[in-house]
Structure 1
Amino acid sequence: MSRRTKRPARPARPAAESPGPKACPCGLTATYAECCGRYHAGTAAAPTAEALMRSRFSAFAVQDGPYLLRTWHPDTRPASLDLDPGMCWTRLEILGTTDGSAFHSTGTVTFRAHYTHGAEAGSLHEQSRFSRVEGRWVYLDAVFAD
């Protein structure tokens, strides 16, 4: 009878790394689920005009047309929205805000939204106007700044 020696145990294989929580497209440090995702899901409402602007940028980034329509003022909302799947919204810069807090009924947000479309990179510079309808912030209209 031969004596067998025990082999040392193999180290356990590391589990396949799952990607971490997805960053929010709006540029804040929270994850998408903790930030704009909850507005898109309808579990929370944007508390300020800037928060609504950020959530709408994120909605463009994730192609959430129903959210964009839901958060558009009824007087200026289009009947439908055709989002371009080739448009990739990459970064949002908030350049300034006027009013738009919990204590206001209107507000403006000036921003620059960066995108790529195919091999072309560009940006959209805009001042958007927001107002409250039934207590919730909605996008009213915009003036292009460039």
Structure 2
Amino acid sequence: MPTDETTSRIEKPSLSGWDVHERPFFKGVRCPACQEVAFPPQHYGCECCGNSELADIELAAQGVVLGSSQVHIHAQPERAVPFTVAEVRLDAGPVVRALLDVEHEAGDWYGRRVHGVLRQREQEPAVLEFRFGVTA
């Protein structure tokens, strides 16, 4: 998805993006010494072995829900409640948190497969938010 003044832009380009097939991914790092994968990307040193030579990588936005919570009261009025936040172990290893793209549907999402989706932000349609969609 190329961007210019008239097209959508991703909300947090330092943390996520989309590939040539328009599939969302997370930006992470891999340690060439011990192969540890980390998110969010940082270049201070490997979290496992301390190596300072970390390589930027793309992490497929696919994984399994470890836990979720439906939010009914939120301090920011821009986000309509209820919404569901999930903690997901990516297939590449790191654990991330993001919204589940399940509207107002309550449920036990533990163990469910999810994949990344980009949705227009309600109050700013030109901005795309990352969410996890539940894989059928």
User: Could you say whether these structures have the same fold, taking a TM-score greater than 0.5 normalized by the shorter chain as the test?
Assistant: no
Which has the larger share of helix?
Answer: 1
Which has the larger share of strand?
Answer: 2
Q: Give the alignment's TM-score, normalised by structure 2.
A: 0.26
Which structure has the greater CA radius of gyration? Answer: 1
